[in-house]
């Protein structure tokens, strides 16, 4: 096989396509990948060759055959992406877009070592985990070596939703209870059991509503939440938010019920790129365990070195902050469906003692494990956690500078390559600039930069790029963002009554009110207010 060696350096300086050809041996009916060709995409015609049909036909067939609840980015003019590499995605006309939101392509789109690992194993064997295979135990061993004791029992699954569903089953088996504490605005996946603990979903206008065994604690947002840094007067907001969880534990007990689990992302993503206060998880975990529950850290979106300082986001809060169950997914396969749950031997034994076998047809298959192993190797070999630290620090620093020029920026918050920019029409009243955020996302796309917005008011620009993001990428991103924010910036006086929105461009796709509408020293945990 002609390929790229496991330890070899790879030149990303030129765009290329890897085109694998197959050679079938009729004797033994074996299939092998015999060649990998580098093809330089020189023209629009070559980009078109990756299409199986014109974009208009793709849209027509999607509208006919794909469920309407499956939404597209940029609905009015959706992108048709035909290939990608590193931090770039390419459409059918060979336009290149800087990807600032794809936290799935963790080590870069189509990393050749990850692609090769999957190709080679697929050509050998793909089966379930009821057979012995080295890839499975190597994956579990390597994964758990990245976590603190006593987290060293692993279950392999296919998605973050599956991982969180299994985490709940483990917690229920261990505690014999059902009541769960979740955070307001939280999202943990799309399975029915997980939608039940995701206010982001069940609180929608046509949502299922909150079940009586689900208890919602305030999101520990110190900018817009129940307890705010601007009003704290020196109080420890981590303790205050944790006390709300403590009260929920007491309320559950008062009803004669027991607590099963507390689940939260270590950094809240869909809820608005939120960084909980430093002492929050330390106190919450203590309250939950005193109430007999287990602590689940959802690292599906934020794990595998994205925070820069640590491999896992929960580790930012201190060595004594160790969950009982950790779930992970998205970046683990770099685009391949693989995820995991890691827990303690004690909790795993409780699950075993139910007498119900846990079997997952594709969970832990050799191909998925080969891909996950390759991802972990690339993170280490290419020092991507360190890159997230360096580039993330530069990104936050540049956004802080931008916030001084663009008054529509109410808050900059982030750590590593997990960053949120909250847009407001009024810095004092914190009126969400929802329409303006929508406009910015659309205009950034026109400038070949992909970002998105989220949060309860959909006014937080979120940045979660592949871990190969560079300083030059940051400078380009911030420069373009600066120009676009001019179009929706606000005049700002100390008196909120005089705050107005400035419209410097023709905006036809959104409605923006033109009248009166209105740190700590760690450089990685910064808020620009």
> pLDDT tens for residues 128-165?
999 999 999 999 999 999 999 999 999 999 999 999 99
Q: Is the pLDDT of residue 521 over 70?
A: no
pLDDT for 381-415, tens place per residue?
999 999 999 999 999 999 999 999 999 999 999 99
User: How many other C-beta atoms are found inside a 10 Å radius of the C-beta of residue 104?
Assistant: 17
Indicate the fold that domain 384-487 takes in CATH. 3.90.1150
Predicted pLDDT at 504: 38
The correct CATH number of 112-381 out of 2.40.40.20, 3.40.640.10, 3.40.190.10, 3.40.50.300 is 3.40.640.10
Backbone angles phi, psi at 175, to 5 degrees: -95, -20
Q: Is the pLDDT of residue 529 over 50?
A: no
Backbone angles phi, psi at 498, to 5 degrees: -100, 5
- Give the Cα separation of 527 and 215 in Å (integer): 29
pLDDT for 448-505, tens place per residue?
999 999 999 999 999 999 999 999 999 999 999 999 999 998 765 544 444 444 333 3
Ordered by start, the domain boundaries in the chain are: 112-381, 384-487
Predicted pLDDT at 45: 62
Predicted pLDDT at 304: 99
Predicted pLDDT at 123: 98
Higher pLDDT, 176 or 17: 176
- Give the Cα separation of 165 and 270 in Å (integer): 18
Mean pLDDT of 194-217: 95
Predicted pLDDT at 43: 59
Q: Is the pLDDT of residue 515 over 70?
A: no
- Give the Cα separation of 305 and 467 in Å (integer): 9
Q: Are strands 418-426 and 460-463 parallel, antiparallel or unpaired?
A: antiparallel
Is-same-fold flag (112-381; 384-487)?
no
Asked whether the beta carbons of 321 and 282 are under 8 A apart, the reply is yes
Q: What is the pTM of this model?
A: 0.86
Residue 326: exposure state from Cβ atoms within 10 A (0-12, 13-18, ≥19):
buried
Residues 6+ apart with CB under 8 A from 39: 16, 17, 19, 46
Among 65-79, 125-139, 272-286, 314-328, the least confident range: 65-79
Strand, helix or coil for residue 477: helix
Q: Is the pLDDT of residue 25 over 60?
A: no
Predicted pLDDT at 47: 62
Residues 6+ apart with CB under 8 A from 401: none
- 296 has which bridge partners? 263, 325
End-to-end C-alpha distance for the chain, whole angstroms: 56
Predicted pLDDT at 48: 64
Residue 259: exposure state from Cβ atoms within 10 A (0-12, 13-18, ≥19):
buried
Tokens at residue 17, please? 């396509």
- Give the Cα separation of 423 and 253 in Å (integer): 40
The fraction of the chain above a pLDDT of 70, given in percent, is 84
Higher pLDDT, 148 or 50: 148
Average pLDDT of every residue of the chain: 88
Tokens at residue 22, please? 């197959």
DSSP 219: P
pLDDT for 310-356, tens place per residue?
999 999 999 999 999 999 999 999 999 999 999 999 999 999 999 99
- How many helices (H) and strands (E) are present in the chain, helices listed first? 14, 21
Predicted pLDDT at 358: 95
Burial of 376-390, coded b for 16+ CB within 10 Å and e otherwise, reads: bbbbeebebbebbbe
Which pLDDT band holds residue 439 (cuts at 50, 70, 90)?
very high
Predicted pLDDT at 398: 99
pLDDT for 239-270, tens place per residue?
999 999 999 999 999 999 999 999 999 999 99
Residue in the block written with tokens 């029915």: 192
- Give the Cα separation of 501 and 424 in Å (integer): 10
User: How many other C-beta atoms are found inside a 10 Å radius of the C-beta of residue 120?
Assistant: 16
Beta strands in 126-274 (DSSP E): 153-157, 179-183, 214-217, 259-265
Residue 204: exposure state from Cβ atoms within 10 A (0-12, 13-18, ≥19):
exposed
- Give the Cα separation of 164 and 191 in Å (integer): 9
Strand, helix or coil for residue 430: coil
Can you list the alpha helix ranges (DSSP code H) found in 447-497? 471-485
Mean pLDDT of 266-276: 97
Asked whether the beta carbons of 95 and 448 are under 8 A apart, the reply is yes
Tokens at residue 519, please? 């740190």
DSSP 383: T
Q: Is the pLDDT of residue 524 over 90?
A: no
- Helix (H) or strand (E) segment spanning residue 17: strand 17-25
User: How many other C-beta atoms are found inside a 10 Å radius of the C-beta of residue 332?
Assistant: 28
Sheet containing 179-183: give its strands across.
Answer: 153-157, 339-343, 325-328, 294-298, 259-265, 179-183, 214-217
């Amino acid at each position: 096989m002609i390929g790229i060696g496991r330890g070899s350096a790879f030149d990303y300086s030129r765009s290329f396509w890897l085109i694998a050809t197959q050679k079938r041996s009729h004797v033994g009916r074996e299939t092998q990948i015999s060649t990998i060709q580098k093809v330089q995409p020189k023209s629009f015609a070559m980009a078109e060759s990756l299409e199986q049909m014109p974009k208009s036909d793709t849209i027509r067939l999607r509208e006919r055959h794909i469920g309407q609840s499956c939404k597209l980015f940029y609905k009015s003019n959706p992108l048709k992406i035909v290939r990608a590499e590193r931090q770039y995605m390419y459409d059918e006309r060979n336009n290149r877009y800087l990807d600032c939101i794809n936290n799935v392509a963790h080590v870069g789109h189509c990393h050749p070592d990850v692609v090769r690992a999957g190709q080679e194993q697929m050509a050998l064997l793909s089966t379930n985990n009821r057979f012995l295979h080295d890839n499975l135990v190597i994956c579990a061993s390597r994964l758990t070596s990245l976590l603190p004791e006593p987290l060293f029992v692993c279950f392999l699954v296919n998605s973050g939703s599956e991982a969180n569903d299994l985490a709940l089953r483990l917690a229920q088996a261990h505690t014999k209870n059902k009541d769960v504490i979740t955070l307001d605005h939280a999202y943990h996946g799309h399975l029915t059991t997980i939608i039940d603990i995701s206010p982001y979903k069940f609180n929608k206008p046509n949502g299922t509503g909150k079940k009586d065994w689900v208890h919602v604690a305030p999101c520990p947002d110190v900018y817009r939440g129940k307890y705010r840094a601007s009003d704290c007067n020196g109080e420890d907001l981590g303790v205050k938010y944790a006390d709300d969880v403590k009260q929920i534990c007491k309320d559950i007990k008062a009803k004669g019920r027991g607590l099963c689990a507390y689940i939260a992302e270590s950094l809240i993503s869909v809820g608005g790129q939120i960084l909980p206060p430093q002492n929050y998880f330390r106190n919450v975990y203590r309250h939950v365990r005193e109430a007999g529950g287990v602590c689940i850290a959802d690292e599906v979106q934020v794990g595998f070195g994205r925070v820069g300082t640590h491999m896992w986001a929960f580790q930012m809060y201190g060595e004594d902050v160790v969950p009982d169950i950790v779930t992970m997914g998205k970046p683990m396969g770099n685009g391949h469906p693989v995820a995991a749950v890691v827990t303690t031997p004690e909790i795993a034994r409780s699950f075993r003692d139910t007498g119900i076998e846990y079997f997952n047809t594709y969970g832990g298959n050799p191909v998925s494990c080969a891909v996950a192993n390759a991802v972990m190797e690339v993170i280490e070999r290419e020092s991507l956690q360190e890159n997230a630290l360096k580039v993330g620090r530069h990104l936050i620093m540049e956004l802080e500078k931008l916030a001084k020029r663009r008054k529509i920026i109410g808050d900059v918050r982030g750590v590593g390559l997990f960053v949120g920019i909250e847009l407001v029409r009024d810095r004092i009243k914190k009126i969400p600039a929802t329409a303006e955020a929508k406009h910015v996302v659309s205009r950034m796309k026109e400038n070949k930069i992909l970002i998105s917005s989220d949060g309860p008011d959909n006014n937080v620009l979120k940045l979660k790029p592949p871990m190969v993001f560079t300083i030059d990428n940051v400078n380009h991103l911030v420069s373009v963002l600066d120009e676009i924010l001019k179009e929706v910036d606000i005049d700002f006086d100390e008196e909120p009554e005089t705050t107005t929105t400035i419209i410097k461009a023709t905006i036809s796709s959104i409605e923006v009110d033109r009248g009166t509408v209105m740190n700590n020293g760690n450089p990685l945990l910064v808020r620009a207010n």
